[in-house]
Structure 1
Amino acid sequence: MATQEKTTFGHASSTDHSLADGSVFELPDNWKYKRFTCLGYKLPWFASPPVQLVIVSFVCFMCPGMFNALNGMGGGGQLDPTANNKANTALYSTFAVVGFFAGTFTNKLGIRTALSIGGIGYSVYVASYLSYNHTQNLGFTTFAGALLGVCAGLLWCAQGAIMMSYPPEESKGRYISWFWMIFNMGAVIGSLIPLGQNSHTKGAASVNDGTYVGFLVLTLIGAALAWTLVDARDVIREDGSKVIVMKHPSWKSEIVGLWETFFTDLYIILLFPMFLASNWFYAYHFTEINNAYFNTRTRALNGVVYYIMQIIGAYVFGFALDYKGVRRTTRAKAAWGALFATIMIIWGCGYIFQRTYDRAWAKNAKDTNTQHDWTDAGYAGPLVLYMFYGFSDAAWQTCVYWFMGALTNNGRKLANFAGFYKGIQSAGGAITWRLDDMGIPFMTMFASNWGLLAGSLLVALPVILWKVEDTVALEKDVAFTDETLAEVAPKAHVTQAHGLDEKV
């Protein structure tokens, strides 16, 4: 270009930010947009999507990450899974209801408030297990689970809206991958806590108080960290565009918007079975494999490698989904095929393993203190299988988020998509934790998992084939409702995030 085009946001700053095409825009003169250099690398400004995503990731690192580490041990760290089953049944039951309306509440309350309330719910949940170690108060753990269902509905809806709407289209896969990697690193570190504290105990036992105290402290820090986020309207991308922020004057308009999302995008129903499957397998993984088959210290080790493989799975699928040399429609189809192959291979191996034990064997092994240890011959096979169960979980969640993010860039609609997603997957979780509490045969639970995962991919295929586009036109997003007011890129700036030629 012979001349540089300059776009100004708010109050002029002395610092220009150059785009790849040679144009320049000025960031507002505010601390949120100051850039610092570290080891020769110019860091993003605080109110940029990468920094905001990292903050949200660390909130989830310390809150859901500790929850995953605790549940990943099976039974919430307790030898008897009864308290954990009842708490998680209550959790996912309330989550299923709140999840459907979480987009509405998150839009109204704001992301910081929603995330912080969510973090407090995780703290109460962990505290109930610390109490249970001493009082055996089943009522408190059940109440804490129900409360967490309400709080987690808000947290995950806010997280989903940020992860899917903040990044530009060409980076959504990487943003999802970064989040999932940081989030699951929390579960890895959380799993190392009980591993270190119980590594000397070869027999079966509940984890000690120190494990719960460590989890409790981290969840409280996570809840406080949410308040360092900036408002969505202040976030500016690298290309100068802003996040599409929807403003609504009343609760009524929010509720109407929720149903508009459902009825104007009816195809989302075809993704509901994938949403249902996304939490269906946790009761099987954590309670019916890890808690039933292995002793305490081995369960902790399994949790570490399970979540390490989640990090690897998120990295592989997240970055592949954003591969620049292939059209997005082609990547969507390839992701579907890779996911289907992954499910069939891993769960096919799981069928062979599941034939080796049942619920009666697990009960006897606990009673006689003969659950499998990492020193036992033949441990490597179940360990590898459990590792790849973690890999497939991350692959599934990453693809589902990416599919939703590929359907729209509208922040309000994505918040509602995320609410549908978390609500339905939580309904699945409530069902499976209750089924385990009722003593369903392990093989029956296994079959329901494999069948639902494979079947839901087939049901979702039409959405992948016909609804995912190479780019989503800005007009389609901001025309969501007549009442919608969008804050988008300034008039003189080309909105590269949407791949448009016209100026907005």
Structure 2
Amino acid sequence: MADFRTFNVVVLGLGFLFIFTAFTTTGNIEQTVLKNLENNTFIGSGYHSLGIIYGVFSVSNLLAPTVVAVIGPRCTMFLSGILYSGYISVFVIPSTWSLYFTSVLIGVGAAMLWTAQGHFLVENSEASTINRNTGLFWALLQCSMLFGNLYIYFSWNGRTEISDSSRRNIFLSLLVASVVGTLSFLVLRKIHREEELLSEDEGQPLLSTPMMYKHRANTAIQDAKTEFKTILQLVKAKTILLLSPCMAYSGLELSFYSGVYGTCIGATAHFGEAAKGLVGISGIMVGVGEIVGGGLFGLVCKNNRFRRTSVVFLGMVVHFVAFYLIFLNIPSDAPIVFDTSTQRSPYLTPSISIALLCSFLLGLGDSCFNTQLYSILGRVYAEQSAPAFAIFKFIQSVFAAVAFFYSGYLLLMWQLLMMVILGFAGTLCFFVVERMQNFSGEQLED
């Protein structure tokens, strides 16, 4: 049994590695690709597509637990993987309607996939192995930011335009990766548990298999209703209200590092023929920052040498340094140009090393905020963790969606200013919650 569980966790991590190698790479390059389409009839926007994905994802989180309970985590992840593959395939032969239609589908699929992943990981773990299994899964997942973007660098390096043939080859390769990850979910082994429904009167098995599924569905619906009521209660809690600015900021900076900044680098005319290849290297550096931050703060928290406030403050400083350097180094019209390159000149002569340093800092700072938000929510709402994390994901996804929609219209300086203001407010509010925790010594509830 233990061997099967370890096998399942490894296969689960590899499946997500392949799927998110495809999806993360797509999110990083899609606006650049769509701006270079040799097709005058296509009017879609990569920013709008990502905004739809995160908007639908935020709402679908409310329904995902019921679906997973009814059809099971393995089947849910397989079906979700098909939706991810469908989204990747759109870029092989792009059309506006299919881009936005699959954006809605993948938003639903993402909610189902991540809910099923959490359920399956817990199902294959025990108290003594949950930390190891979680670490193993996230280590494999974070590697997804490296391989696809490295392929983009070698494919695009030296190119000033992305031809149709180059685009097709790239997305066919990413589609293959996504399909491989989806098929790997079929290899997952089922963990058998003795869960028979017994008659209260006779003490014998009462329900056939179809009736078992019906009973499970009814139970899941009741659980979903209960969880939804808990969510409504927690939304009004003082702790959640105070943490909301920090959650919202995590959504803004998520959209910036995952889709906007790579596009800005690819559109910077001063980088010349290296610009398109740097989109891939930028994604790799973000991934390295995430991996370094996750490992570093895991050791920090384990040894209790720093409090959560110290890590969050570090994240704020790291991000603000990155934002200032980006403001100086990248042209202000980089997010909004609709041809192939920027027209404005930045304050400094654009430097590739500074641009890539900022990518690393964006990933490092993101790991600061997210690890500590998970930490404080897990401590304050230990008995209500699922609803609390659902609220976190909802707020984060809504603001990520909003940010993707305005990213194609606002100059870079205004986008950076919005993140600075919300990041500073979110950090202060996080400090208040941590101070309340230190004084109360117990769960904070309204």
TM-score interval (norm. to shorter): 0.7 to 0.9
TM-score normalised by the chain length of structure 1: 0.69
Q: Within 5 Å, which residues of 2 pair with 1:435-450?
A: 435-437=406-408, 439-450=409-420
Q: Distance in 2 between matches of 1:468 and 1:115?
A: 40
Q: CA deviation at 1:360?
A: 3.5
What do residues 149-206 of structure 1 show as CA deviations (whole Å, max 9, x unaligned)? 000011122334556787667876665544332112122111122222222x331426
Q: Which residue number in structure 2 is paired with residue 304 of structure 1?
A: 284
Q: Distance in 1 between matches of 2:173 and 2:356?
A: 26
Q: Which residue number in structure 2 is paired with residue 73 of structure 1?
A: 29
Alignment match of 1:210 (pick from 143, 149, 169): 169
Q: Distance in 2 between matches of 1:165 and 1:450?
A: 40
Q: Distance in 1 between matches of 2:220 and 2:372?
A: 32
Q: Within 5 Å, which residues of 2 pair with 1:114-263?
A: 114-132=76-94, 137-161=95-119, 176-199=134-157, 201-205=158-162, 207-230=166-189, 249-262=218-231
Q: Which residue number in structure 1 is paired with residue 399 of structure 2?
A: 428
Q: Is the Cα–Cα contact under 8 Å of residues 52 and 100 in structure 2 kept in the other structure?
A: yes
Q: Percent identity?
A: 16
| Structure 2 portions without partners, runs of 5+ | 37-42, 195-215, 267-274
Q: Distance in 1 between matches of 2:367 and 2:341?
A: 35
Q: CA deviation at 1:431?
A: 0.3
Q: Is the Cα–Cα contact under 8 Å of residues 265 and 278 in structure 2 kept in the other structure?
A: no
Q: Which residue number in structure 2 is paired with residue 276 of structure 1?
A: 248
Residue-pair matches, total? 399
Q: Distance in 1 between matches of 2:81 and 2:417?
A: 34
What do residues 429-449 of structure 1 show as CA deviations (whole Å, max 9, x unaligned)? 210111113x11211211222
Q: Distance in 1 between matches of 2:442 and 2:93?
A: 50
Secondary structure, in 3 states, of the residue corresponding to 2:252?
coil
Q: Distance in 2 between matches of 1:364 and 1:409?
A: 46
Report the RMSD for the aligned CA atoms in angstroms. Answer: 3.7
Q: Within 5 Å, which residues of 2 pair with 1:16-31?
A: none
Q: Distance in 2 between matches of 1:429 and 1:303?
A: 18
Alignment match of 1:61 (pick from 17, 23, 26): 17
The 1:230/1:164 distance shift into structure 2, 3 A limit, reads same
Q: Within 5 Å, which residues of 2 pair with 1:311-460?
A: 311-323=291-303, 326=304, 334-360=307-333, 367=340, 378-407=351-380, 413-437=384-408, 439-460=409-430
Residue 121 of structure 1 aligns with an amino acid whose one-letter code is L
| Structure 1 portions without partners, runs of 5+ | 1-31, 34-44, 236-246, 474-504
Q: Distance in 2 between matches of 1:468 and 1:112?
A: 41
Q: Is the Cα–Cα contact under 8 Å of residues 87 and 142 in structure 1 kept in the other structure?
A: yes
Q: Distance in 1 between matches of 2:11 and 2:248?
A: 28
What do residues 469-491 of structure 1 show as CA deviations (whole Å, max 9, x unaligned)? 9x999xxxxxxxxxxxxxxxxxx
Q: CA deviation at 1:82?
A: 4.7
Residue 378 of structure 1 aligns with an amino acid whose one-letter code is S
The 1:465/1:119 distance shift into structure 2, 3 A limit, reads farther
What do residues 300-346 of structure 1 show as CA deviations (whole Å, max 9, x unaligned)? 122222212222222212343333xx4xxxx7x71332122222233
Residue 205 of structure 1 aligns with an amino acid whose one-letter code is I
The 1:258/1:468 distance shift into structure 2, 3 A limit, reads farther
What do residues 213-252 of structure 1 show as CA deviations (whole Å, max 9, x unaligned)? 11111112222222444557759xxxxxxxxxxx884344
Moved more, 312-321 or 210-219: 312-321
The 1:408/1:270 distance shift into structure 2, 3 A limit, reads same
Q: Distance in 1 between matches of 2:224 and 2:254?
A: 31
Secondary structure, in 3 states, of the residue corresponding to 2:251?
coil
